[in-house]
């Protein structure tokens, strides 16, 4: 049976420490559950941290969807997909994930991914968003996005969504 895929999104360069720490733990927990981890694949910020976390777990599977033919991938990505779509690859991230998790608000790329997920009705989980982001996406999704304040709470939501 095919593994479920959890997409973990967040800022690359300039990601906040707390978001990277959450991403690392979340990547680990995702891999422990036997789910595949999907990220934007770059060797920076939340992407790098989530993949590094998953890498600690034997038999983890990490998928990186890179923007450019020549983008450098995080060393902890097992399957590298080179789209050459630039930011257009954000839509591939969303469509290829069973759930999309955003670590913090992230930068504008992350915001575009959450919005695209809302548009196609993909389950979205905001992990430790600031108040403004929480309100904005609750409003945009008519209450459809899930919110978790901690990695543990996020894993609980994923358990419910993916079982």
Which residues sit at the interface with a second copy, rule CB under 8 A?
A: 2-3, 5, 36, 61, 63, 65, 69, 77-88, 90-92, 95-96, 105, 107-109, 111-112, 115-116, 118-120, 132-133, 135-136, 139-141
For residue 44, the minimal CB distance to a second copy (Å) is 14
- Nearer Cβ to a second copy (25/113): 113
The alpha carbon dihedral of 112, 76, 17, 44 has a sign of negative
- Nearer Cβ to a second copy (18/95): 95
| 63 bridge partner residues | 38, 79
Residue 38: enclosing H or E segment and its boundaries? Answer: strand 36-39
Cβ–Cβ < 8 Å for 57, 31 = yes
The alpha carbon dihedral of 97, 99, 102, 108 has a sign of positive
For residue 63, the minimal CB distance to a second copy (Å) is 6
- Nearer Cβ to a second copy (22/93): 93
For residue 156, the minimal CB distance to a second copy (Å) is 25
For residue 43, the minimal CB distance to a second copy (Å) is 13
Determine the Cα–Cα distance for residues 95 and 85; give it in Å rounded to an integer: 14
């Amino acid at each position: 049976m095919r593994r479920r895929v959890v997409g973990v999104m967040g800022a690359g360069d300039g990601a906040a420490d707390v978001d990277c720490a959450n991403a690392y733990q979340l990547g680990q927990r995702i891999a422990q559950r036997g789910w595949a981890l999907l990220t934007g694949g770059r060797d920076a910020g939340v992407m790098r941290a989530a993949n590094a976390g998953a890498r600690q777990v034997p038999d983890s599977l990490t998928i990186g969807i890179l923007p450019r033919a020549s983008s450098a991938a995080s060393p902890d990505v097992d399957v590298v997909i080179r789209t050459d779509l630039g930011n257009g690859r954000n839509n591939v991230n969303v469509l290829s994930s069973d759930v999309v998790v955003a670590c913090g608000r992230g930068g504008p790329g992350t915001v575009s991914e959450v919005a695209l997920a809302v548009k196609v009705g993909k389950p979205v989980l905001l992990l430790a968003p600031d108040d403004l982001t929480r309100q904005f996406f609750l409003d945009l999704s008519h209450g459809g996005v899930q919110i978790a304040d901690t990695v543990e709470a996020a894993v609980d939501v994923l358990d419910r969504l993916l079982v």
